[in-house]
Amino acid sequence: MSTALTDAFVVLPGEPLCGRVRVSGATKNLGLKQMSATLLAPGVTALRNMDRVTDLDVMIDVMRAVGARVEWTAERELTIDTTGPLSPEAPYELVNRMRASVNVLGPLLARCGEARVAMPGGDNIGSRPVDMHLRGLEAMGAEIRVVHGFIEGRVNRLGGARIVLEFPSVGATENLLTAAVLAKGQTVIENAAREPEITELAAMLNRMGARVLGAGSSTIEVEGVEGLESVESVDVIGDRIETGTLLMACGIAGGEVTIEGARLDHVELVAMKLGEMGLKVTPTPDGIWARADDRLQAVDVATLPFPGFATDFLPLVVALLATADGTAIVTENVFDNRLGFVPELNRMGADVRHEGRHAVIRGVPRLSGAPVRSLDVRAGAALVIAGLAADGETVVLDPHHVDRGYPDLAATLRALGANVVRRRG
């Protein structure tokens, strides 16, 4: 595997991590969805604490394609103007690059009465059908067709309905929530996703004049309104997935770190598991403090929807367990290909055996630096932090996957003393 002059993260072992760093805004998992929500009402909204991940570049193009004006008005502030008429079509070449762009479907149907959105793309981590999105919109009275790779929807006005999700899907909950706020009558979403990002999205919608109750619980009730108004500004919360990434990096490399802007209640189960492993984690007035004094101990992990152990953390905790003392069993209960990166980690000397959704991890004292490939955003980040506990040089190729969710992972880790650079070929 040639690594000369190619884009890559290059990681060398170093001292334990030490210092303070501010977590990035939750651009990928929240900011993009709040951008979609601005389509529900004419006006101008500034989203603050937005960091420039590459998925944001795609979403900006999607928003512009449907008629919004989107501009950077400050270093981390994005202003969206939805005053003008919208063109309710999101083209294939954009939606295919990022799954979150399907979130414009609900707002466009609710405001325009029609939408034509390409079937979404995104990371290859397993089956993520949009059937729940479409069935929910049909229950609200929309006529939905999937034709030549496009979702086509049409309705005079959406109507309230009781919708029971087969699984607490974040994307389906977001799409149906943003559609229901302008529907006639009451919509009840049962088995709804409970993630903090859902709560924040609902809070923004309520500021726009929506009537949403129960966000953050498994039952969300929405009383439709005749119209919404844009809000002047919205502050995006800190990224809980980056928070977990940095906590696990501390567990792998050892040391003592403070993550400013992070919220312990957003990563509570992760912190609990890391505590069982021996990582000390405690809240601070403006974030989270963590310290690892010794090699961590292996524990079993199973992913579940929030407030469970999030699937996004699975590759990261597998990398952490690869250097822990003992044997652990990890079970992935959300996506069927989340463990596809394991052969790359094993190239670094890890002892991980996996079949389907299960993996048995026998920890080794140290990994060995090697050239490896990033297969998706979280798997790539996992390989980068694994390099912190590897002798020699680790080169993580295809780093563009990581760039989709982390504005500058190398710089963030360097701020804590890690020897990581993002090489551009």
Buried/exposed 146-172: b ≥16 CB within 10 Å, e otherwise: eeeebbbbebeebbbbebebeebbbbb
Buried/exposed 95-134: b ≥16 CB within 10 Å, e otherwise: bbbbbbbbbbbbbbbbbbeebbbbbbbbbebeeeebebbb
Cis before 307 (ω within 30): yes
Instruction: For residues 401 and 125, give the distance between their C-alpha atoms in angstroms, rounded to a whole number.
Output: 12
Confidence category of residue 122, pLDDT binned at 50, 70, 90: very low
**Contact call for residues 391 and 402 (beta carbons, < 8 A):** no
What whole-number percentage of the chain has pLDDT above 70?
A: 96
Q: What is the mean pLDDT of residues 336-353?
A: 94
Please name the residue ranges forming H helices in 104-256: 105-112, 131-139, 170-180, 196-207, 240-253
What tens digit of pLDDT does each residue of 128-149 get?
478 899 999 999 999 999 888 8
Q: Of 323, 334, 298, whose CA–CA distance to 126 is shortest? A: 334
Instruction: For residues 121 and 95, give the distance between their C-alpha atoms in angstroms, rounded to a whole number.
Output: 6
- The catalytically annotated residue of 51, 55, 123, 239 is 123
Instruction: For residues 9 and 30, give the distance between their C-alpha atoms in angstroms, rounded to a whole number.
Output: 26
DSSP label of 31: I
**Contact call for residues 37 and 204 (beta carbons, < 8 A):** yes
Q: State which H helix or E strand residue 264 sits in.
A: none
**Whether residue 294 lies in the annotated active site:** no
Q: Of 31, 124, 174, whose CA–CA distance to 378 is shortest? A: 124
**pTM score > 0.85 for this model?**
yes
What tens digit of pLDDT does each residue of 262-275 get?
999 999 999 999 99
What tens digit of pLDDT does each residue of 22-55 get?
999 999 999 999 999 999 999 999 999 999 999 9
Q: What is the mean pLDDT of residues 320-333?
A: 97
Q: What is the mean pLDDT of residues 211-223?
A: 98
Mean pLDDT rounded to a whole number for the chain? 94
Answer yes or no: is pLDDT of 127 > 60: no
Asked whether the domain spanning 27-225 has the same topology as the one spanning 8-24+238-423, the reply is yes
Fold classified for 8-24+238-423 = UDP-n-acetylglucosamine1-carboxyvinyl-transferase; Chain (3.65.10)
User: Whose structure tokens read 């980690």?
Assistant: 345
Q: Sheet with 150-154: list strands edge to edge.
A: 89-90, 114-118, 150-154, 143-147
Per-residue pLDDT at 36? 96
Pairing outcome for strands 390-391 and 367-368: parallel
Domain range annotation of the chain: 8-24+238-423, 27-225
Q: Of 69, 111, 68, 52, whose CA–CA distance to 229 is shortest? A: 111
Per-residue pLDDT at 418? 98
Instruction: For residues 249 and 242, give the distance between their C-alpha atoms in angstroms, rounded to a whole number.
Output: 10
User: Whose structure tokens read 């989107």?
Assistant: 70
Q: What is the mean pLDDT of residues 47-73?
A: 94
CATH no. of 27-225 = 3.65.10.10
Answer yes or no: is pLDDT of 111 > 70: yes
Answer yes or no: is pLDDT of 162 > 50: yes
Answer yes or no: is pLDDT of 1 > 60: no
Per-residue pLDDT at 121? 56
Answer yes or no: is pLDDT of 278 > 60: yes
Q: Which residues are within 8 A (CB) of 65 and not within 5 positions of it... i.e. 6 or more apart?
A: 87, 89, 90, 91, 94
